[in-house]
Amino acid sequence: MNFPSNRIGQIPPYLFAEINKKKAEMIKAGVDIIDLGIGDPDLPTPKHIIDKLTEEAQDPKNLKYPSFVGCPEFKQAVADFYFREYGVILDPETEVLALIGSKEGIAHIVPTLIDPGDYVLIPDPSYPVYRMATLLANGQCHHMPLTKENNFVPDFEAIPKAIVERSKLMFLNYPGNPTSATVELPFFKRAIAFAEKHKIPIAHDSAYNMVTFDSYKAPSILQVEGAKEIAVEFGSLSKTYSMTGFRIGYVVGNREIIKALSVLKSNTDTGQFTPIQKAAAYALNGDQSCVTQYNQIYKDRMTAMLDGLKSIGVEVEPPKGSFFIWAPVPSGYTSAEFVTNVLEQTGVIITPGNAFGPSGEGYFRVSLSVPNERLYEAVNRIKQNLKIVIG
Ligand SMILES: *Cc1c(COP(=O)(O)O)cnc(C)c1O
């Protein structure tokens, strides 16, 4: 067969395939499955945002081809958001670009910045799109291990010199998926210093920038002086406002990178539906009480689940952001074995850590994205039914 291309052929099989098969079998056998594997929040999109979407959809001029670079209201709203949240001034014309979800921009930034054979520095474990986009661009992945010992941040000095020299892009992601790790501004200062020294652009994925708890405030990498010279930051409405299905995100920062990405995009897509962009602008500018309310719900779920895990001997520091718990598997188990045990004994699906990269082995991820009563039911089943045999 002379299809598909080698580029597609090299993409590894979907890591959730095995667990999805088991899930289907168990549902068929009548088991009540609770899926804590998915990263799609159950909380509804706030009504004022949906109302704005339907209102804008009535205007015939919003139904034409959108502008390639994003509608002015959306880009201005992103710039206003950056000034309000971080004190960062952005030119909406040149330093903000609308995306069809941040995933789209993350995938397209790779061929925008690398040529075949170039290296991309990728946190391990991390969001799989960084790795897959690199493979699709015929680039090479260099994994930067994130471990508990290094607080789940990369050790830049540990990257071999020969690889640093051939690297054209570095991804970072805080608050992190799957690790739920958070950082403070000094970490971003070190990252920018490394990037400047070696002329390696940084793409910081801030999908969970506003999903934070208590007094913790996640910094923006653009708060570092000079960051705009070498970095871009991806953001998304998906998690903050439960708008995953809208497909709206943005990239901000270095204008040359943004210009290059918009060249690729203007030859690939034609932007997001204008009513969606206008509803997203309204979300960013409007009443933010939904964000506070949703974060409190995630925080309460997290507290309950941490308590459930503690009862089986798994202890984790309470995360300051994201809606994930990243926990070590009890000793004597691989990630896959533990996840299978949990599924068979409790009907609860969690994700094996190695689905996010080799350094994720020995961990599992719990996503807190099911309604409260299901989440508390899962906690009870883990507490009461899970028999972990050490050894
Ligand atoms: C969900 C997620 C995204 C993608 O968000 P969209 O804007 O919906 O495409 C990007 N990065 C991480 C780490 C995510 O978890």
For the segment 217-274, what is each residue's pLDDT rounded down to a tens digit? Answer: 999 999 999 999 999 999 999 999 999 999 999 999 999 999 999 999 999 999 999 9
For 323-378, the pLDDT digits (tens) are: 999 999 999 999 999 999 999 999 999 999 999 999 999 999 999 989 989 999 99
Per the model's pLDDT, the better-predicted residue between 45 and 41 turns out to be 45
Q: What is the mean pLDDT of residues 96-114?
A: 98
Q: What's 64-285's CATH class?
A: alpha beta
Asked whether residue 275 carries a pLDDT value surpassing 50, the answer given is yes
- Ligand 1 neighbourhood includes 176 CB (under 6 angstroms): no
Tokens 């395939």 correspond to what residue? 17
Nearest CA to ligand 1 atom 15: 177
Ligand 1 binding pocket mutation candidate from 110, 182, 239 (most atoms within 8 A of CB): 239
For residue 241, the Cα-to-chain-centroid distance in whole angstroms is 14
HSE (side-chain half, CA atoms, 13 Å) at 295? 20
- Work out the pLDDT band at 197, boundaries 50, 70, 90: very high
Collect all residues with Cβ–Cβ distance below 8 Å to 374 and sequence separation of at least 6: 34
Total Cβ atoms within 10 A of residue 389: 8
Distance separating alpha carbons of residues 9 and 111, to the nearest angstrom? 18
- Ligand 1 neighbourhood includes 369 CB (under 6 angstroms): no
Nearest CA to ligand 1 atom 4: 103
Distance 71 CA to ligand 1 centre (A): 21
Pairing of strands 167-173, 119-124: parallel
Asked whether residue 178 carries a pLDDT value surpassing 90, the answer given is yes
Nearest CA to ligand 1 atom 2: 207
Q: For residue 215, which amino acid is it?
A: S
Judge residue 345's burial from the number of C-beta atoms within 10 Å of its C-beta, 0-12 exposed, 13-18 middle, 19 or more buried: middle
Q: Is the peptide bond before 128 cis (omega within 30 degrees of 0)?
A: no
Q: Is 80 helix (H, G, I), strand (E, B) or coil?
A: helix
Asked whether residue 16 carries a pLDDT value surpassing 80, the answer given is no
Asked whether residue 215 carries a pLDDT value surpassing 50, the answer given is yes
CB distance 133 to 155 below 8 Å? no
Q: Radius of gyration of the chain from Cα atoms?
A: 21
Average pLDDT, the chain: 95
- Ligand 1 neighbourhood includes 220 CB (under 6 angstroms): no
What is the phi/psi pair of residue 328, to 5°?
-75, 140
Q: Is 321 helix (H, G, I), strand (E, B) or coil?
A: strand
Total Cβ atoms within 10 A of residue 288: 16
Distance separating alpha carbons of residues 280 and 362, to the nearest angstrom? 38
Q: What is the mean pLDDT of residues 174-198?
A: 98
Distance separating alpha carbons of residues 270 and 276, to the nearest angstrom? 14
Distance separating alpha carbons of residues 57 and 386, to the nearest angstrom? 49
Nearest CA to ligand 1 atom 1: 207
Q: Is the peptide bond before 66 cis (omega within 30 degrees of 0)?
A: no
- Ligand 1 neighbourhood includes 262 CB (under 6 angstroms): no
- Of 174, 254, 248, the C-alpha closest to 206 is 174
Of the listed ranges 17-21, 55-59, 78-82, 116-120, the least confidently predicted one is 17-21
Tokens matching residue 383: 């507490």
Q: So what's the pLDDT on residue 15? A: 66
Q: So what's the pLDDT on residue 119? A: 98
Q: So what's the pLDDT on residue 23? A: 87
Task: Give the rounded percent of residues in the chain with a pLDDT score beyond 90.
Answer: 87
Q: For residue 124, which amino acid is it?
A: D
- Domain borders along the chain are 6-45+289-390, 64-285
Asked whether residue 1 carries a pLDDT value surpassing 90, the answer given is no
For 290-313, the pLDDT digits (tens) are: 999 999 999 999 999 999 999 888
Q: Is 340 helix (H, G, I), strand (E, B) or coil?
A: helix
Question: Which runs of consecutive H residues, i.e. helices, occur in the chain?
Answer: 6-9, 17-28, 47-56, 72-86, 102-113, 128-136, 161-165, 185-198, 255-266, 274-285, 289-310, 335-346, 372-385
Q: What is the mean pLDDT of residues 208-220?
A: 97
Tokens 């309460």 correspond to what residue? 300
This prediction has a pTM of 0.97
Q: Is the peptide bond before 4 cis (omega within 30 degrees of 0)?
A: yes
CB distance 209 to 102 below 8 Å? no
Does domain 6-45+289-390 fall under CATH 3.90.1150.10? My reply is yes
Ligand 1 atom with the smallest distance to the CA of 102 is: 7
Q: So what's the pLDDT on residue 391? A: 46
